[in-house]
Amino acid sequence: MMQLPHDPVVAIVGATGAVGREMLAILEERAFPARSLRLFASPRSAGMRIPFRGGSVVVESLDSGAAIEGIHLALFSAGKGISKEWGPRFREAGTLVVDNSSAFRADPACPLVVPEVNPHALEAVRSPAIIANPNCSTIIALVAVTPLHRALGVERMVAATYQAASGAGAAAMAELESQARAFAAGTPLDTTIFGRQYLFNVFSHNSAVGDDGSNEEERKLLTETRRMWESDAVRVAATCVRVPTLRAHAEAIHLEFARATSEGEIRALLAAAPGVRVVDDRAANRFPEPLDAAGGDDVLVGRIRMDQSVPGARGAALFVCGDQIRKGAALNAIQIAERFLPASSPTRASAPATGAAHAALTAR
Ligand SMILES: NC(=O)c1ccc[n+]([C@@H]2O[C@H](COP(=O)([O-])OP(=O)(O)OC[C@H]3O[C@@H](n4cnc5c(N)ncnc54)[C@H](OP(=O)(O)O)[C@@H]3O)[C@@H](O)[C@H]2O)c1
């Protein structure tokens, strides 16, 4: 596996966006050992100064004049088109790229990775490459479900998502906030982003709907799960909708296993799972909520129960919440990057051992 220098030069592409700004915050929080930072965005943001480590960094325009040599690591979050155009250019300039868009998720040359799920997929990376971050709903679901899959063999997963405004970027969050202010003031609502009232509403996810009636977000849950679990056997069905929460997605997940299990076994597996925090207080009716997940690293898991509609004690149901700007995007990308730091680096991730995780996944 290739290694970054102990103090890499790091770039963020899309630094002014919802994910890019979170990346900056997480690099600081985790004391990522960046020697220096380059920030790129559209020409609109060129010259803007963004605070970092007590100082500030000037945003550069990513255009034909951009000098991209000498960057060891680039974290991309500027949309699919920019990733397709610039990801290969950075790689050819010797940069390890971690990309948040959907541009490379199905490309066999680009590992698709969640460190808690399939860290072993990074071992094949021996020279600068593009590594894809999965879709945010897939990341949040699989952090919770993969430990159950390793032990019990998930044969079928049915998910209903409740997706926040933040998943559609900084402008969508601003529009939901502005709709709340306008509603309170009794003035017309700005509907530029989604073309409809978002406040007090729920609507089907804003990605393209295919001929089979599924939208792209729903298809990603199937294709990305299969790719990371290295098996086409799992059956996945999803319904993805937007709800008027600002930040952090929720998902109701129903699972069918290969063998019989018990609520106790499922609870024990989840309690031991990295990146998972069980929030399940039946007496107090406290379960995962987006407001509690927002700003945190863990995927919250609760409403843990057997699914009585599956015979033979082979079914379970969960409700999960995760901050999709963090674990669904920025944090996952930085956790991937940490894997490439020298083993002696103090910020090197403490995710499960690569070999053990792979063996358990592929034993299915
Ligand atoms: N939001 C999430 O939870 C989430 C989760 C997973 C993946 N993603 C993916 O991450 C990417 C960014 O999402 P986001 O939510 O952060 O969006 P966002 O808030 O709209 O930010 C978009 C970023 O891209 C930059 N950009 C736009 N056009 C550009 C250009 N021509 N050249 C260079 N930079 C350009 C913007 O710069 P300006 O400010 O200068 O316009 C901004 O920094 C998308 O691919 C998205 O699918 C997002």
CATH label of the domain that carries residue 98: 3.40.50.720
Question: 152-186: per-residue pLDDT in tens?
Answer: 999 999 999 999 999 999 999 999 999 999 999 99
Residues 346 and 315 in one domain: no
249 tagged catalytic: yes
Average pLDDT taken over every residue of the chain: 95
Ligand 1 centroid from CA 62, angstroms: 13
136 tagged catalytic: yes
Helix (H), strand (E) at residue 98: strand 96-99
Question: 239-265: per-residue pLDDT in tens?
Answer: 999 999 999 999 999 999 999 999 999
Nearest CA to ligand 1 atom 11: 77
Name residues contacting ligand 1 (CB within 6 A): 14-20, 40-42, 44-45, 62, 77-80, 82, 100-101, 136, 166-167, 169-171, 324-325, 328-329
Domain holding 64, by residue range, is: 9-133+329-362
Residues 236 and 108 in one domain: no
Residues 299 and 338 in one domain: no
Ligand 1 centroid from CA 19, angstroms: 7
The whole-angstrom separation of Cα 1 and Cα 351 is: 16
Q: pLDDT at residue 119 above 80?
A: yes
pTM: 0.95
Given ligand 1 and candidates 77, 83, 99, 331, which is best to mutate, with the most ligand atoms within 8 Å of its CB? 77
What per-residue confidence (pLDDT) applies to 345? Answer: 85
Residues 34 and 146 in one domain: no
Of 110, 120, 136, 321, which residue is the catalytic one?
136
61 part of a folded domain = yes
Question: 268-285: per-residue pLDDT in tens?
Answer: 999 999 999 999 999 999
Q: What does each C-alpha distance from 230 to 132, 187, 335, 359 come to in angstroms?
A: 16, 52, 21, 12
304 part of a folded domain = yes
Length of the chain: 364
Q: Give mean pLDDT, residues 12-24.
A: 98
3-state secondary structure of 193: coil
| Atom nearest to 170 CA in ligand 1 | 19
DSSP string, 38-70: EEEE-GGGTT-EEEETTEEEEEEE-STT---TT
Residues 212 and 309 in one domain: yes
Nearest CA to ligand 1 atom 43: 14
Residue from 64, 128, 60 nearest 90 by CA: 128
192 part of a folded domain = no
The whole-angstrom separation of Cα 176 and Cα 167 is: 12
Pair 251, 160: CB distance under 8 Å: yes
Pairing of strands 315-322, 299-306: antiparallel
| Atom nearest to 324 CA in ligand 1 | 3
Q: pLDDT at residue 352 above 50?
A: no
Q: How many domains does the chain have?
A: 2
The whole-angstrom separation of Cα 172 and Cα 52 is: 25
Tokens of 197: 């009232």
Nearest CA to ligand 1 atom 20: 169
206 part of a folded domain = yes
DSSP string, 120-188: GGGGG--SS-EEEPPPHHHHHHHHHHHHHHHHH-EEEEEEEEEE-GGGG-HHHHHHHHHHHHHHHHT-P
Show Cβ contacts of residue 180 under 8 Å, excluding neighbours closer than 6 positions: 199
